[in-house]
Amino acid sequence: MKVLRLVTAAAVTSTLALLPLATAGPAAGAEASAAARDRPLRQLAADDRLRVGTAVDTTALAEDAPYRRIAGSEFSSVTPENVMKWEVIEPRRGEYDYAEADRLVRFAERHGQKVRGHVLVWHSQLPSWLTEGDFTKEELREILRRHVTDTVRHFKGRIWHWDVVNEAFNEDGTLRDSIWLRELGPGYIADAFRWAHEADPRAKLFYNDYNIEWAGPKSDAVLDLVRTLRAEGVPVDGVGFQGHLGIQYGLPGGVAANFQRFDALGVQTAVTEADVRMVMPADDEKLRTQAEGYRLLLDACLRARHCVSFTVWGFTDKYSWVPDTFEGEGAANILDETYRPKPAYRALQAALAGRARPTTSG
Ligand code: XIL
């Protein structure tokens, strides 16, 4: 079965190969060889034993045929952008609705893609019955245990990576004041990993956060957490670097070196939500800087021995969380609104083409 899929994938030519570059990006564009240009990202990444993924907007997947075609052909893993979040899968207490997430998992299986499960424990996108409910600590702990256990069990065997705990830290490296920390104390983190592992021992379990791509108080704290948890035998397998950058802040330095620190702990790493936004309107120079931003994230991953996946948080400017979240910002993705490749897409192609890492982890 696996072999068949590989053969099928090898025959695929990028649906984007024939499209003109959205905006001239001479540096990035020229680097990609002609051969590289007509191979989809997933194939180029396979040469590096790396999965290249995208977050998927399941409404777009259902309604937009070009979106669906590109999601299936360019990527070798998918992450549900929203449909595995608590408010979606348990809108009313005890009533699970996994329908949308199940549909995406089936799509992934049909396309030979892995699924990154996102997300089990987070402070955001929680249902109101939970945030507004008046629960004792014991009740809340039991609610969390059940959510983690039931959800991981529901998808057992079909999820490659789970983002078990998301965004637990503040920028200064202290723990975020969330419902979980307030009510359950810092032990909720270890508990969540243990419950998830018990429910699906083969899924790789990740801690995931943003602004930890470079060294600083926040990434130091995550490094410390992961080191401590593993020393205590807590089943943490990996760290996800979300990779939400904004070019107006300048591109971060020391990203590759920071990935290496985590690599040295023996955990897997992944870029889980890459997008590089800008203050609108976009122009050629901003798009070139954006391409560098994507490239530096991918390079850091390629240089880390245990970096196993590189996921973009959506692949087209047509559907992006950025304009809704960051006022006046946008154009954060690798394809424009009409699915034409931007310099960022060419930069990823170029970085993947012709590389081969000496060793990798499974
Ligand atoms: C975002 C989605 O993209 C939006 O559609 C939603 O309205 C809010 O959440 N970090 C995460 C993701 O871990 O789950 C977030 O996704 C983006 C930031």
Residue 254 lies in a domain: no
Report how far ligand 1's centroid is from the alpha carbon of 82 (Å).
7
Query: Quick one: average pLDDT of 259-286?
Result: 98
Residue 344 lies in a domain: yes
**pLDDT-based confidence at 49, cuts 50/70/90?**
confident
Torsion angle of the four alpha carbons 353, 359, 118, 143, in this order, in degrees rounded to the nearest 10: 180
Residue 39 lies in a domain: yes
Counted domains in the chain = 2
Alpha helices in 201-254 (DSSP H): 217-231
Q: Which atom of ligand 1 is nearest to the CA of 320?
A: 3
Distance CA 263, CA 239 (A): 9
Range of weakest confidence among 30-34, 107-111, 202-206: 30-34
Residue 253 lies in a domain: no
Same domain (yes/no): 31, 56: yes
Same domain (yes/no): 99, 68: no
Look at residue 124 and tell me whether its pLDDT is greater than 90.
yes
Same domain (yes/no): 140, 65: no
Report how far ligand 1's centroid is from the alpha carbon of 319 (Å).
12
Same domain (yes/no): 301, 338: yes
Residue 49 lies in a domain: yes
Same domain (yes/no): 182, 301: no
Same domain (yes/no): 298, 360: yes
pTM of the entire structure? 0.92
> What CATH number is attached to the domain comprising 98?
3.20.20.80
Look at residue 50 and tell me whether its pLDDT is greater than 70.
yes
Same domain (yes/no): 71, 100: no
Report how far ligand 1's centroid is from the alpha carbon of 273 (Å).
9
Distance CA 362, CA 355 (A): 18
Same domain (yes/no): 195, 304: no
Q: Does 82 contact ligand 1 (Cβ within 6 A)? A: yes
pLDDT in tens, 307-359: 999 999 999 999 999 999 999 999 999 999 999 999 999 999 999 996 655 44
What is the share, in percent, of the chain residues with pLDDT greater than 90? 86
Same domain (yes/no): 116, 212: yes
What sign does the CA torsion over 20, 311, 48, 158 have?
Answer: negative
Q: Does 320 contact ligand 1 (Cβ within 6 A)? A: no
Report how far ligand 1's centroid is from the alpha carbon of 223 (Å).
23
| Structural domain ending residue among the three candidates 201, 226, 242 | 242
Which residue segment(s) compose the domain that 178 sits in? 92-242
**pLDDT-based confidence at 30, cuts 50/70/90?**
very low
Same domain (yes/no): 28, 128: no
* Catalytic sites, residue numbers: 167, 273
Same domain (yes/no): 112, 226: yes
Greater pLDDT, 158 or 24: 158
Same domain (yes/no): 40, 111: no
Residue 11 lies in a domain: yes
Helix (H, G, I), strand (E, B) or coil at 341: strand
- What pLDDT score was predicted for residue 338? 98
Ramachandran sector of residue 231 (left: φ over 0; alpha: ψ -120 to 50; beta: rest): alpha
Distance CA 17, CA 27 (A): 18
Beta bridge partners of 237: none
| Structural domain ending residue among the three candidates 207, 242, 277 | 242
Query: Quick one: average pLDDT of 276-291?
Result: 98
Q: Which atom of ligand 1 is nearest to the CA of 85?
A: 14
- What pLDDT score was predicted for residue 354? 61
Residue 255 lies in a domain: no
Look at residue 362 and tell me whether its pLDDT is greater than 70.
no
Of 224, 226, 218, the closest CA to residue 173 belongs to 218
**pLDDT-based confidence at 33, cuts 50/70/90?**
low
Look at residue 16 and tell me whether its pLDDT is greater than 80.
no
- What pLDDT score was predicted for residue 22? 56
- What pLDDT score was predicted for residue 38? 73
Residue 261 lies in a domain: no
- Looking at every residue in the chain, the average pLDDT score rounds to 91
Of 149, 172, 167, 148, the closest CA to residue 207 belongs to 167
Annotate 83-111 with DSSP letters as a single string. TTSHHHH-SBTTB---HHHHHHHHHHHHT
Please report where in the chains the tokens 């999820």 appear, as a residue.
159
Q: Does 166 contact ligand 1 (Cβ within 6 A)? A: yes
- What pLDDT score was predicted for residue 227? 98
